[in-house]
Chain A
Amino acid sequence: MSAIFFLIGCSVLIALLFLGAFIWANKSGQHDDTYTPAIRVLFEDDFPSEEKELDRQVNLGEENK
């Protein structure tokens, strides 16, 4: 029956992980705007990819120098 200690420990630990994940999400502002992302995801994917954006910023940085 000592398995019960292990099982309770496991279940509480996993639940704690989820609680931690939720609090992290809340802290990082994921619940600040709950409406716009739902629309944003429907747009066609023609945003400049992150690499391009980085390139652009690097170029700009060089220009500024």
Chain B
Amino acid sequence: MDKLETVQKEQTCFHCGDEVKHQTYEVDNHRFCCLGCKSVYLLLNEHQLSRYYQYNAHPGSSVKEEANRYFYLEEENISKSLLDFQDERMSIVTLYIPGIHCSSCIWLLESLHKLHAGVASSRTDFLRKEVRVTFYHQQLSLKQLVELLASIGYPPVISLQDTTQDKVEEQKNHLVRKIAVAGFCFGNSMMISFPEYFGIGAFEKDYAQLFGWINLTFALPVMFYSGSDYFVSSLKSLKQRRLNLDVPLALGILILFVRSAWEILNGTGAGFSDTLCGLIFFLLVGRWVQQKTYHHLSFERDYRSYFPVAVTKIHEGQEKTVALANIQVGDRILIRNNEIVPADAILLKGQACIDFSFVTGESVPVEKVLGEIIYAGGRQTEQIIELEVVKPVSQSYLTSLWNAPEQAERKVFFQSFSNKISRYFTPILLSIALASAFFWGSAGDAQRAWSAFTAVLIIGCPCALALSSPFTLSAVLSVFDRNGLFMKDTLAIEKMAEINTLVFDKTGTISTLSDDRFHFEGKLTAMEASMVFSVCRNSNHPQSRKIAKAFGETCRILPMSSYVETPGSGIQATIAGKDILIGSRSFAATDKDLFKVAGTYVRIDGETKGVFCVEQKWRSGLASVISNLSHGYRLHLLSGDGEKDAKALSLLFPHKEYLNFNQLPADKLSYVEKLQHNCQKVAMIGDGLNDAGALKSADLGIAVSDDVNNFSPACDAIMSGASFEKLPRFFGFAKRAMRIIYSSFVISLLYNLLGMYFATQGSLSPLIAAILMPLSTITIISFTSLATRLYAYKYHL
């Protein structure tokens, strides 16, 4: 057992836990998978921060991607717009770091002051994945701070949205404070009311008056502070000539207060103050439960968060960093390897091979010739290029795509179940109240008519109904959350339950470009393979590392006589007198070669030997997901790619005619809208910018992402790629959840009917109200949470 463990220890990287294939990186008896991990370890050791490794095993994240360039932070306007606060000495900045995942991360990020004297203090918010750093800007610039964070494996994500959007403070409703006040009054008013429930002796009648007054005092803050939201909301909905659920609630609260005040002031009764306080307390708790949000996930992204913050502009022969907002038509800009073209522009200089996969869904990079227009959103995969901007950033092809569904806001306003019910609920409730008042009134008993009228409105107050949706849906929300599906809000679950048509995107959604799986098109002899391996193992480029990893077991290491690596192009080396070129197509391939695919080309001795292609892989469980969903849902497929996978897919999907290829982003949008016109409830499941329009206009947009913290377009839900096989269960569970809500609605109606029996006779005593109201509330809360958990267990979620 011990032996096994040591063997395992040796095979994984001490820093990030990845598999270690080579034994080149080793310090202090610890092995590392790459130079990046090793250097982080050395840096932390140097500053006595090695405790980082004690809290968790392998806490680091391997620095797989090339370090992002933060050159734009030198520009003062940009860095200033990111700061929260600045005086002569100190600056405070809040940075979003998606890499935060364990307690070691918190510890390290709060020990930044040991790493650099320029950091005064730092605070981590784990749930928001944010770090708030106070630093002395004379010793440490913002750029240096960000680079320091990146160097220890926590690169902050800075997007254009951060700099252009005024940091709107979240609208704070002080809901927690309102709950506290309501809870305080509820408890105290309950205590004061007990004597009344147990019966006050005749000689203690004086106290009844006193208790009444105290109760009324407790009701005041609850009514006017805690309950104010319900009045505001119901007034708003009345103005729009709609009846939402807050209308009967506000009516009930108002009547409760008026009747209690009237009884207490007249000395005719004890009033319902405790019921009033309890009602508002439970309602607010329900509201609070419903408000669950994911602070670290953003569902409202627009094009600005995808674009770079700044670009390099060439002005009078000099390179200058300019904020994207200041880029104008006619400006010359430089785009380096792996940077995104921010505006529609003409290629002036250099070799452009643009990867539009995120914009169009087409996985093969496109080569562009001088003078051709390059649309915004593409990623340059080769060396530096020079471009002239022809359209402002805000009017580029990509941005217009993103904004299109906004202009045609055809999305129907979605009515939640409780709002649908309340349209009928309020009129029925009012007519019962009026009928009973009329009945007793015509019998000549005005006193009884008044008490029956108010009692009906009080007892009919749909408290339990108002609680059933929040408690059920928030329980569903947390079940989904555990399983890697993050919903924007509880309304999204109700939408999910009504879906009858699913539209899938292909690349990135039902298939992944798996990083580790290569295939080599062409042929290599054993000797040639060893050559390729020997060259690649010297490079730190991710692609080279993958190739070296794949070849590592079978190949020998050959001595090299020369080695030159050109960033963005490839490697040129000489082994045994033979020239070896490994790299991009324009670098390593000859013009007349046969391989017409994107990938890493290999040329040995002037002859193109072949190309390493990344294999497209279907997501695991795709076949069962499709066959499960085909019962009950119409399944469509929209792909930006060509028809090369049509055959494989037509075997999976039940309806061949629903498979569509070569779809432009605009086609996808109109396809979804066409389905909606045929009265279908459409869920779009996609990933890239090419689906942005469709995701937005669909009834439910689910963005699939292998790393949920990564960029994803605006949507209703974000699903982790690993959870793809759970998709049918997610939809089934959402439907179940709605059934739970319907049943709890029936239960709450039964309670209402029971109360009505007393209410219509005008004999509702404060004691009955005080028992019925909390009892129904507790029944509903326990029923919904138990039922939801039971179904979650049944669905294996």
**Cβ distance B409 to chain A, nearest Cβ, rounded Å:** 34
- Size category of the A interface is 20 to 34
Residue pair A26, B51 in contact (C-beta under 8 Å):
no
Residue pair B176, A31 in contact (C-beta under 8 Å):
yes
Docked CA distance A63–B132 (Å): 25
Contact of A26 among B177, B187, B207, B214 (CB under 8 A): B177
Interface residue B533 (Cβ < 8 Å from any Cβ of A): no
Between B51, B106, B192, the greatest number of chain A beta carbons within 10 A of the residue's beta carbon is seen for: B106
Residue pair A15, B188 in contact (C-beta under 8 Å):
yes
Q: Which residue of B lies closest to A34 (CB)?
A: B127
Residue pair A23, B207 in contact (C-beta under 8 Å):
no
Interface residue B45 (Cβ < 8 Å from any Cβ of A): no
Given contacts A4-B207, A19-B184, A36-B106, contact A44 B176 (CB under 8 A): no
**Cβ distance B194 to chain A, nearest Cβ, rounded Å:** 12
Given contacts A12-B188, A15-B188, A64-B89, contact A40 B180 (CB under 8 A): no
Interface residue A6 (Cβ < 8 Å from any Cβ of B): no
Complex interface: chain A residues within 8 A of B121 (CB)? 53
Residue pair B138, A8 in contact (C-beta under 8 Å):
no
Interface residue B627 (Cβ < 8 Å from any Cβ of A): no
Per-residue CB proximity of B333-369 to A under 8 Å, as 1/0?
0000000000000000000000000000000000000
Q: Which residue of A lies closest to B55 (CB)?
A: A43
Residue pair B124, A15 in contact (C-beta under 8 Å):
no
Residue pair A36, B180 in contact (C-beta under 8 Å):
no
Given contacts A19-B184, A64-B89, contact A40 B106 (CB under 8 A): yes
11 sampled A-B residue pairs with Cβ under 8 A:
A4-B207, A11-B188, A15-B187, A19-B181, A19-B184, A22-B180, A23-B177, A32-B125, A36-B124, A43-B107, A44-B51
Interface residue A3 (Cβ < 8 Å from any Cβ of B): no
Contact of A35 among B89, B127, B207 (CB under 8 A): B127
Contact of B113 among A22, A23, A42, A48 (CB under 8 A): A48
Residue pair B106, A19 in contact (C-beta under 8 Å):
no
Docked CA distance A53–B106 (Å): 20
Within 8 A of B (CB), among A14-55: 15-16, 18-19, 22-23, 26, 31-33, 35-36, 39-40, 42-44, 46-48, 53
B-side interface residues toward A, CB under 8 Å?
51, 55, 89, 103, 106-107, 110, 113, 120-121, 124-128, 136, 138, 174, 176-177, 180-181, 184, 187-188, 191-192, 207, 210, 214
Q: Which residue of B lies closest to A48 (CB)?
A: B113
Complex interface: chain A residues within 8 A of B184 (CB)? 15-16, 18-19
Residue pair B126, A33 in contact (C-beta under 8 Å):
yes
Contact of A39 among B126, B138, B176, B181 (CB under 8 A): B126
Given contacts A26-B180, A36-B124, A36-B126, contact A64 B138 (CB under 8 A): yes
Docked CA distance A43–B191 (Å): 43
Docked CA distance A50–B451 (Å): 65
Given A12-B188, A48-B113, A60-B89, list of 18 further CB < 8 A pairs? A4-B207, A5-B210, A8-B214, A26-B174, A26-B177, A32-B125, A33-B127, A35-B126, A35-B127, A36-B106, A36-B125, A36-B126, A39-B103, A39-B106, A40-B106, A44-B51, A64-B89, A64-B138
Complex interface: chain B residues within 8 A of A48 (CB)? 113
Complex interface: chain B residues within 8 A of A61 (CB)? 89
A-side interface residues toward B, CB under 8 Å?
4-5, 8, 11-12, 15-16, 18-19, 22-23, 26, 31-33, 35-36, 39-40, 42-44, 46-48, 53, 57, 60-61, 64
Complex interface: chain A residues within 8 A of B89 (CB)? 60-61, 64
Docked CA distance A7–B152 (Å): 61
Docked CA distance A25–B390 (Å): 55
**Cβ distance A19 to chain B, nearest Cβ, rounded Å:** 5
Given contacts A48-B113, A64-B89, contact A19 B126 (CB under 8 A): no
Between B136, B177, B187, the greatest number of chain A beta carbons within 10 A of the residue's beta carbon is seen for: B177
Complex interface: chain B residues within 8 A of A19 (CB)? 180-181, 184
Q: Which residue of A lies closest to B207 (CB)?
A: A4
Residue pair A42, B103 in contact (C-beta under 8 Å):
yes
Given contacts A15-B187, A36-B124, contact A23 B110 (CB under 8 A): no
Docked CA distance A44–B120 (Å): 20
Complex interface: chain A residues within 8 A of B138 (CB)? 64
Residue pair A36, B127 in contact (C-beta under 8 Å):
yes
Docked CA distance A15–B106 (Å): 37
Complex interface: chain B residues within 8 A of A39 (CB)? 103, 106, 126
Between A5, A16, A19, the greatest number of chain B beta carbons within 10 A of the residue's beta carbon is seen for: A19
Complex interface: chain A residues within 8 A of B174 (CB)? 26
Docked CA distance A62–B120 (Å): 16
Complex interface: chain A residues within 8 A of B106 (CB)? 36, 39-40
**Cβ distance A20 to chain B, nearest Cβ, rounded Å:** 10
**Cβ distance B226 to chain A, nearest Cβ, rounded Å:** 12
Complex interface: chain B residues within 8 A of A33 (CB)? 125-128
**Cβ distance A51 to chain B, nearest Cβ, rounded Å:** 15
Q: Which residue of B lies closest to A44 (CB)?
A: B51
Complex interface: chain B residues within 8 A of A40 (CB)? 106, 110
Complex interface: chain B residues within 8 A of A26 (CB)? 174, 176-177, 180
Complex interface: chain A residues within 8 A of B113 (CB)? 48
Docked CA distance A5–B207 (Å): 10
**Cβ distance A42 to chain B, nearest Cβ, rounded Å:** 7
Q: Which residue of A lies closest to B106 (CB)?
A: A39
Docked CA distance A47–B676 (Å): 59
State the 10 A-B residue pairs at the shortest beta-carbon distance, nearest first: A36-B126, A19-B184, A39-B103, A33-B125, A35-B127, A35-B126, A22-B180, A43-B107, A26-B176, A39-B106
Complex interface: chain B residues within 8 A of A53 (CB)? 121
Q: Which residue of B lies closest to A16 (CB)?
A: B184
Complex interface: chain B residues within 8 A of A35 (CB)? 126-127
Complex interface: chain B residues within 8 A of A44 (CB)? 51
Complex interface: chain A residues within 8 A of B51 (CB)? 44, 46
Docked CA distance A62–B457 (Å): 71
Docked CA distance A34–B103 (Å): 14
Given contacts A4-B207, A8-B214, A36-B125, contact A23 B187 (CB under 8 A): no
Contact of A23 among B55, B124, B128, B180 (CB under 8 A): B180
